[in-house]
Amino acid sequence: MPIRRSLKRRRVDDGSGTIAESNDGERSASPLMSLQREVSPPPAKTVAEQRRTALGDEPKDRAKDEGAKERESSSAATKFMPTWTWPAVLATDKPGKVAKAPSESKTGPAETSRSEEQGRPTPRGGQNPRAKLIASPIQLTRIRDLPPSHNVDTVSLRDILGHPLLKECWQFNYLHSIPWILEHFDADVRNLVSLKVVHGFWRNDDGRKQSLQEQADAAVRSGARVQLVAAHMPEMFGTHHTKMMILFRHDDLAMVVIHTANMIEQDWTNLTQAVWRSPWLPLLTHDGGHERDDDDKGEAEAEDEAYEIGTGQRFKADLVRYLKAYESRTRTLVRELRRYDFSSVKAALVASAPSKASLDGVQATKTTAFGWPGLKQILSRIPAGVTAARNTPVVNVQVSSIATLTEKWIHNLQDVLAAHAKPPSADRSTAKPKYHIIFPTAAEIRNSLDGYASGASIHMKLKSAAQQKQLQLLRPMLCHWDGPGHDAGAATGAAREAFRSRAAPHIKTYVRFRDSACSEIDWAMVTSANLSQQAWGATQDKDGLVRISSYELGVVVWPDLFRDDDGGKVMMVPTFGKDTPAHDAARDDVRGVVGFRMPYSLPLVPYRKEEVPWCNSDTHAEPDWMGVVWNTSEGQM
- 617 by Cβ neighbours in 10 Å (0-12 / 13-18 / 19+) ranks as middle
The 3-class secondary structure across 467-501, one letter per residue, is: HHHHHHHHHHHEECCCCCCHHHHHHHCCCECCCCC
- 530 by Cβ neighbours in 10 Å (0-12 / 13-18 / 19+) ranks as buried
User: DSSP class of residue 143?
Assistant: P
User: Does residue 291 surpass a pLDDT of 80?
Assistant: no
Question: Which residues, in sequence order, are bridge partners of residue 352?
Answer: 552
Q: Is residue 175 part of a domain?
A: yes
Q: Is residue 177 part of a domain?
A: yes
What's residue 296's pLDDT?
Answer: 58
User: DSSP class of residue 190?
Assistant: T
What's residue 11's pLDDT?
Answer: 37
User: Does residue 496 surpass a pLDDT of 50?
Assistant: yes
What's residue 320's pLDDT?
Answer: 98
Query: Buried (b) or exposed (e) across 163-181, using 16+ Cβ within 10 A?
Result: beebbbbbbbbbbbbbbbb
Provide the CATH number for the domain around residue 201.
3.30.870.10
> Pick from 145, 146, 156: which is nearest to 75 by CA?
156
Q: Is residue 202 part of a domain?
A: yes
Could you say which of 150, 241, 420, 480 is catalytic?
241
Cβ atoms of 157 and 177 within 8 Å: the answer is no
Query: Buried (b) or exposed (e) across 428-465, using 16+ Cβ within 10 A?
Result: ebeeebebbbbbbbbbbbbbbbbbbbbbbbbbbbeeee
What's residue 176's pLDDT?
Answer: 98
What's residue 494's pLDDT?
Answer: 54
> Pick from 120, 121, 119, 116: which is nearest to 517 by CA?
121
Catalytic (active site) residue 459? no
Question: Which residues, in sequence order, are bridge partners of residue 398?
Answer: 438, 509
Read off the pLDDT of residues 477-495 as tens digits, 9 standing for 90 and up. Answer: 999 999 876 555 555 455 6
Could you say which of 163, 176, 436, 506 is catalytic?
506
Number of domains in the chain: 1
Longest dimension (CA), the chain: 73
Q: Is residue 277 part of a domain?
A: yes
Cβ contacts of 416 within 8 Å, gap of 6 or more? 372, 375, 376, 379
- Angle subtended by helix axes 407-418 and 371-379, to nearest 10: 30
Question: Which residues, in sequence order, are bridge partners of residue 171?
Answer: 197, 245
Q: Is residue 284 part of a domain?
A: yes
Strand 401-402 relative to strand 19-22: parallel, antiparallel, unpaired?
unpaired
Read off the pLDDT of residues 529-559 as tens digits, 9 standing for 90 and up. Answer: 999 999 999 999 998 999 999 999 999 999 9
User: Does residue 114 surpass a pLDDT of 50?
Assistant: no
User: Does residue 95 surpass a pLDDT of 50?
Assistant: no
Euclidean distance between CA atoms 20 and 563, whole angstroms: 44
User: Does residue 23 surpass a pLDDT of 80?
Assistant: no
Rounded percentage of the chain residues whose pLDDT exceeds 70: 72
Cβ atoms of 383 and 420 within 8 Å: the answer is yes
Q: Which residue numbers belong to the known binding site for substrate? A: 243, 508
> Pick from 366, 386, 368, 385: which is nearest to 377 by CA?
368
pTM of the model: 0.81
- Angle subtended by helix axes 312-324 and 296-303, to nearest 10: 120
Range of the domain at 170: 157-337
Going through 394-541 in order, the beta strands assigned E by DSSP cover 394-398, 401-402, 434-438, 459-460, 478-479, 509-513, 521-527
Q: Is residue 288 part of a domain?
A: yes
Going through 29-111 in order, the beta strands assigned E by DSSP cover 34-36
Q: Is residue 571 part of a domain?
A: no
The Cα-based distances of 214 to 201, 207, 208, 217 in angstroms read 14, 10, 10, 5
Residues found in the chain:
637
Tell me if residue 179 falls in helix, strand or coil: helix
Strand 628-630 relative to strand 166-172: parallel, antiparallel, unpaired?
unpaired
Q: Is residue 320 part of a domain?
A: yes
Chain mean pLDDT for the chain: 81
- 239 by Cβ neighbours in 10 Å (0-12 / 13-18 / 19+) ranks as buried
The Cα-based distances of 37 to 3, 6, 42, 183, 626 in angstroms read 10, 8, 11, 29, 12
* Phi, psi (rounded to 5 degrees) for 546: -110, 125
Catalytic (active site) residue 184? no
For the chain, first and last CA: distance in Å?
Answer: 29
Q: What average pLDDT does range 94-102 have in this prediction?
A: 36
